[in-house]
Amino acid sequence: MNRRIFLLAGAGVTLAACGTSSAPQLGADGKPLPQVYRIGDPREVSFRFLDAMNTLRAAKSLQPVAFDASLNAAAETHSRDMSVQNRPWHFGSDGSSPLVRAQRSGFTGRLLGENISETYETELETLSSWMAQPDTRVVIMDPLATKLGFAWFQEPGGKIWWTMLTGA
């Protein structure tokens, strides 16, 4: 009997040691350091973003947006180009503007706006960050918007370059 108790206690101690987790590392500001967000299924990322954006728009009685293949292509091109340039800005390495990139991708509608970001955050955290700033929120909540282009490029180290375009 004592032998069984000893074995069970030993197994319990061993299992308890396996279950311990280390506390998250903290930055100088006392907040947890960000974890690298690895993008899994690209379709899930895109549709999570679309659903979240349309939920925000619906709360303000705005019409939903739908993906536009041309705007998606322009967004993808720009996300990769920002990574190559290693800076988030609205101009391509060839000097192209968001309007020129949309036209090059075959978009024939009216381009309304572009949001960009360089981050390690998820698509929903990025959307939240854009909503927190008046100049990027207005692109998301534009009442004229009916079309959406959304894409990203993730570097091997985990940094993500997000691009969002709206059009009508």
pLDDT value of residue 63: 98
Residue carrying the six token digits 């350091």? 33
User: Cα dist. 81→30, 90, 126 in Å?
Assistant: 34, 10, 19
pLDDT value of residue 119: 86
pLDDT value of residue 29: 85
Interacting residues of 35 by C-beta distance below 8 A, sequence separation 6+: 120
Q: From the DSSP assignment, how many helices (H) and strands (E) are in the chain?
A: 6, 4
Interacting residues of 150 by C-beta distance below 8 A, sequence separation 6+: 46, 49, 50, 67, 72, 75, 162, 163, 164, 165
pLDDT value of residue 150: 97
CA distance 102 to 71: 6
Q: Quote the pTM value.
A: 0.77
pLDDT value of residue 14: 44
Mean pLDDT per block of 10 residues along the chain (168 residues) reads: 47 45 73 68 87 98 98 97 89 92 97 94 94 98 98 92 97
pLDDT value of residue 12: 47
